[in-house]
Protein backbone atom coordinates (compact mmCIF):
# COMPACT_ATOMS: atom_id res chain seq x y z
CA UNK A 1 0.00 0.00 0.00
CA UNK A 2 2.97 2.34 0.12
CA UNK A 3 3.30 2.26 -3.67
CA UNK A 4 1.41 5.54 -4.44
CA UNK A 5 3.62 7.40 -1.98
CA UNK A 6 6.78 6.03 -3.57
CA UNK A 7 5.48 7.03 -6.97
CA UNK A 8 4.58 10.53 -5.84
CA UNK A 9 8.01 10.90 -4.25
CA UNK A 10 9.48 10.06 -7.62
CA UNK A 11 7.01 12.11 -9.66
CA UNK A 12 7.10 15.31 -7.61
CA UNK A 13 10.77 16.24 -8.32
CA UNK A 14 10.29 15.39 -11.98
CA UNK A 15 7.25 17.67 -12.20
CA UNK A 16 9.17 20.40 -10.36
CA UNK A 17 12.15 20.05 -12.72
CA UNK A 18 9.85 20.16 -15.75
CA UNK A 19 8.19 23.28 -14.32
CA UNK A 20 11.55 24.98 -13.83
CA UNK A 21 12.62 23.96 -17.35
CA UNK A 22 9.41 25.38 -18.84
CA UNK A 23 9.87 28.61 -16.91
CA UNK A 24 13.47 28.92 -18.18
CA UNK A 25 12.35 28.22 -21.78
CA UNK A 26 9.56 30.81 -21.48
CA UNK A 27 12.01 33.37 -20.07
CA UNK A 28 14.60 32.72 -22.81
CA UNK A 29 11.90 32.92 -25.51
CA UNK A 30 10.74 36.22 -24.05
CA UNK A 31 14.29 37.60 -24.04
CA UNK A 32 14.83 36.48 -27.66
CA UNK A 33 11.57 38.09 -28.82
CA UNK A 34 12.47 41.30 -26.98
CA UNK A 35 15.98 41.35 -28.52
CA UNK A 36 14.64 40.71 -32.04
CA UNK A 37 12.08 43.48 -31.60
CA UNK A 38 14.74 45.91 -30.33
CA UNK A 39 17.07 45.04 -33.23
CA UNK A 40 14.26 45.52 -35.75
CA UNK A 41 13.37 48.88 -34.22
CA UNK A 42 17.02 49.94 -34.30
CA UNK A 43 17.46 48.86 -37.94
CA UNK A 44 14.31 50.78 -38.92
CA UNK A 45 15.56 53.87 -37.03
CA UNK A 46 18.98 53.64 -38.73
CA UNK A 47 17.39 53.29 -42.16
CA UNK A 48 15.17 56.27 -41.44
CA UNK A 49 18.15 58.38 -40.37
CA UNK A 50 20.07 57.20 -43.47
CA UNK A 51 17.17 58.39 -45.64
CA UNK A 52 16.89 61.69 -43.72
CA UNK A 53 20.59 62.39 -44.26
CA UNK A 54 20.33 61.60 -47.96
CA UNK A 55 17.29 63.89 -48.27
CA UNK A 56 19.17 66.70 -46.50
CA UNK A 57 22.13 66.20 -48.85
CA UNK A 58 19.84 66.70 -51.85
CA UNK A 59 17.31 69.27 -50.74
CA UNK A 60 18.07 72.33 -48.59
CA UNK A 61 15.71 72.47 -45.56
CA UNK A 62 14.68 75.99 -46.48
CA UNK A 63 13.36 74.96 -49.89
CA UNK A 64 10.25 73.27 -48.44
CA UNK A 65 8.08 73.75 -45.36
CA UNK A 66 6.16 70.47 -44.99
CA UNK A 67 7.09 67.34 -43.06
CA UNK A 68 8.67 65.50 -45.96
CA UNK A 69 9.06 62.14 -44.25
CA UNK A 70 5.36 61.89 -43.40
CA UNK A 71 4.14 63.42 -46.68
CA UNK A 72 4.88 60.05 -48.23
CA UNK A 73 3.00 57.78 -50.58
CA UNK A 74 3.93 54.34 -51.86
CA UNK A 75 3.61 53.13 -55.42
CA UNK A 76 4.15 49.82 -57.15
CA UNK A 77 5.71 50.13 -60.61
CA UNK A 78 8.20 47.29 -61.16
CA UNK A 79 9.01 48.20 -64.77
CA UNK A 80 10.04 51.77 -64.04
CA UNK A 81 11.02 51.68 -60.37
CA UNK A 82 12.94 48.39 -60.45
CA UNK A 83 11.15 46.42 -57.73
CA UNK A 84 7.88 44.59 -57.12
CA UNK A 85 7.84 46.07 -53.62
CA UNK A 86 6.09 49.38 -52.91
CA UNK A 87 8.41 52.34 -53.53
CA UNK A 88 8.23 55.38 -51.26
CA UNK A 89 7.80 58.84 -52.73
CA UNK A 90 8.27 61.86 -50.45
CA UNK A 91 6.65 65.13 -51.53
CA UNK A 92 8.32 68.47 -50.79
CA UNK A 93 5.95 71.44 -50.71
CA UNK A 94 6.25 75.10 -49.89
CA UNK A 95 3.13 76.97 -48.79
CA UNK A 96 1.16 74.02 -50.14
CA UNK A 97 2.69 74.21 -53.62
CA UNK A 98 4.65 71.21 -54.92
CA UNK A 99 8.43 71.76 -54.95
CA UNK A 100 9.94 68.34 -55.57
CA UNK A 101 9.40 64.59 -55.35
CA UNK A 102 11.96 62.22 -53.89
CA UNK A 103 11.64 58.68 -55.17
CA UNK A 104 13.28 55.56 -53.77
CA UNK A 105 13.69 53.34 -56.85
CA UNK A 106 15.92 50.30 -57.15
CA UNK A 107 18.50 49.64 -59.86
CA UNK A 108 17.93 45.86 -59.97
CA UNK A 109 20.87 45.05 -62.23
CA UNK A 110 23.94 46.14 -60.30
CA UNK A 111 27.00 43.87 -60.46
CA UNK A 112 26.02 42.37 -57.12
CA UNK A 113 22.28 42.82 -57.20
CA UNK A 114 19.99 45.66 -56.27
CA UNK A 115 21.23 49.21 -55.72
CA UNK A 116 18.79 51.33 -53.70
CA UNK A 117 18.60 54.95 -54.80
CA UNK A 118 17.09 58.22 -53.72
CA UNK A 119 16.23 60.36 -56.74
CA UNK A 120 15.15 63.97 -56.19
CA UNK A 121 13.18 65.53 -59.03
CA UNK A 122 12.08 69.16 -59.07
CA UNK A 123 8.42 69.82 -59.88
CA UNK A 124 9.34 70.85 -63.44
CA UNK A 125 10.96 67.45 -64.07
CA UNK A 126 14.65 68.39 -63.76
CA UNK A 127 16.88 66.31 -61.55
CA UNK A 128 17.96 67.85 -58.27
CA UNK A 129 20.26 64.97 -57.49
CA UNK A 130 20.79 61.29 -56.80
CA UNK A 131 22.05 59.47 -53.70
CA UNK A 132 22.82 55.78 -53.22
CA UNK A 133 21.05 54.51 -50.08
CA UNK A 134 22.21 50.91 -50.16
CA UNK A 135 24.30 48.63 -52.38
CA UNK A 136 26.52 45.55 -52.45
CA UNK A 137 28.81 46.61 -55.28
CA UNK A 138 32.50 45.65 -55.13
CA UNK A 139 34.52 47.91 -52.82
CA UNK A 140 37.16 49.83 -54.77
CA UNK A 141 35.51 49.03 -58.11
CA UNK A 142 31.72 49.28 -58.32
CA UNK A 143 31.39 51.67 -55.39
CA UNK A 144 33.36 54.44 -57.15
CA UNK A 145 30.35 56.76 -56.81
CA UNK A 146 31.19 57.08 -53.12
CA UNK A 147 34.99 56.92 -53.28
CA UNK A 148 37.46 58.11 -55.89
CA UNK A 149 34.91 59.22 -58.45
CA UNK A 150 32.53 60.62 -55.86
CA UNK A 151 31.66 63.57 -58.07
CA UNK A 152 30.01 61.19 -60.52
CA UNK A 153 26.58 61.36 -58.87
CA UNK A 154 26.67 65.17 -59.00
CA UNK A 155 26.59 65.04 -62.80
CA UNK A 156 22.90 64.13 -62.68
CA UNK A 157 22.00 67.58 -61.34
CA UNK A 158 19.99 69.62 -63.84
CA UNK A 159 19.38 66.77 -66.28
CA UNK A 160 15.89 65.74 -67.40
CA UNK A 161 14.18 63.20 -69.60
CA UNK A 162 14.98 65.29 -72.69
CA UNK A 163 18.44 66.46 -71.60
CA UNK A 164 20.32 64.46 -72.75
CA UNK A 165 18.02 62.93 -75.38
CA UNK A 166 16.71 59.47 -74.54
CA UNK A 167 19.25 57.53 -76.67
CA UNK A 168 22.16 59.19 -74.80
CA UNK A 169 20.81 58.34 -71.34
CA UNK A 170 23.43 55.61 -70.82
CA UNK A 171 27.18 55.17 -70.36
CA UNK A 172 29.60 56.26 -73.13
CA UNK A 173 30.42 52.64 -73.89
CA UNK A 174 26.80 52.22 -75.02
CA UNK A 175 26.79 55.49 -76.97
CA UNK A 176 25.56 57.66 -74.11
CA UNK A 177 26.74 60.74 -72.22
CA UNK A 178 27.69 59.20 -68.87
CA UNK A 179 31.17 58.20 -67.74
CA UNK A 180 31.69 54.63 -66.53
CA UNK A 181 33.98 53.93 -63.57
CA UNK A 182 37.51 52.74 -64.14
CA UNK A 183 37.16 48.96 -64.81
CA UNK A 184 33.49 48.92 -63.87
CA UNK A 185 30.74 49.61 -66.37
CA UNK A 186 27.94 47.47 -64.99
CA UNK A 187 27.27 49.56 -61.87
CA UNK A 188 27.06 52.99 -63.56
CA UNK A 189 25.01 51.50 -66.42
CA UNK A 190 22.50 50.17 -63.87
CA UNK A 191 22.31 53.48 -61.98
CA UNK A 192 21.92 55.62 -65.11
CA UNK A 193 19.12 53.35 -66.37
CA UNK A 194 17.32 53.47 -63.01
CA UNK A 195 17.53 57.27 -62.86
CA UNK A 196 16.19 57.63 -66.41
CA UNK A 197 13.30 55.29 -65.61
CA UNK A 198 12.53 57.28 -62.46
CA UNK A 199 12.26 60.39 -64.61
CA UNK A 200 9.93 58.52 -66.97
CA UNK A 201 7.77 57.45 -64.03
CA UNK A 202 7.71 61.01 -62.69
CA UNK A 203 6.82 62.56 -66.04
CA UNK A 204 3.91 60.17 -66.62
CA UNK A 205 2.57 60.45 -63.06
CA UNK A 206 3.42 63.98 -61.89
CA UNK A 207 -0.15 65.07 -61.19
CA UNK A 208 -0.98 61.89 -59.29
CA UNK A 209 2.26 62.00 -57.31
CA UNK A 210 1.36 65.34 -55.75
CA UNK A 211 -2.39 64.88 -55.33
CA UNK A 212 -2.57 61.36 -53.86
CA UNK A 213 -3.50 61.54 -50.17
CA UNK A 214 -1.20 59.96 -47.58
CA UNK A 215 -2.90 56.66 -46.61
CA UNK A 216 -4.62 56.86 -43.21
CA UNK A 217 -2.54 53.99 -41.80
CA UNK A 218 0.78 55.81 -42.40
Ligand X SMILES: Cc1cc2nc3c(=O)[nH]c(=O)nc-3n(C[C@H](O)[C@H](O)[C@H](O)COP(=O)(O)O)c2cc1C
Kindly list the residues in this chain that would bind ligand X in the complex (CB under 6 A).
111-112, 137-138, 141-142, 173, 184-187
Q: Which CB sits closer to ligand X, 131 or 187?
A: 187
Q: How far is the CB of 85 from ligand X (least distance, A)?
A: 23
Q: How far is the CB of 25 from ligand X (least distance, A)?
A: 45
Q: How far is the CB of 196 from ligand X (least distance, A)?
A: 17
CA dist., res. 116 & res. 100, Å (int)? 19
The H or E element spanning position 193 is: helix 186-211
Q: Which CB sits closer to ligand X, 129 or 142?
A: 142
Q: What is the DSSP string of 1-41?
A: --HHHHHHHHHHHHHHHHHHHHHHHHHHHHHHHHHHHHHHH
Q: How far is the CB of 181 from ligand X (least distance, A)?
A: 7
Structural Rg of the chain based on CA atoms:
26
Closest-CB residue for ligand X?
142
Q: Which CB sits closer to ligand X, 42 or 173?
A: 173
Amino acid sequence: MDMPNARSEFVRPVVRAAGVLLAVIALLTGILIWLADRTETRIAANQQSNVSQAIDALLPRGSYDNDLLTDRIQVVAPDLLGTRQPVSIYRARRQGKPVAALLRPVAPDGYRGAIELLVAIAYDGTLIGVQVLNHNETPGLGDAFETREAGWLRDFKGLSLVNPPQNRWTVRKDGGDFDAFTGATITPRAIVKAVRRSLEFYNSNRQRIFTTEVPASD
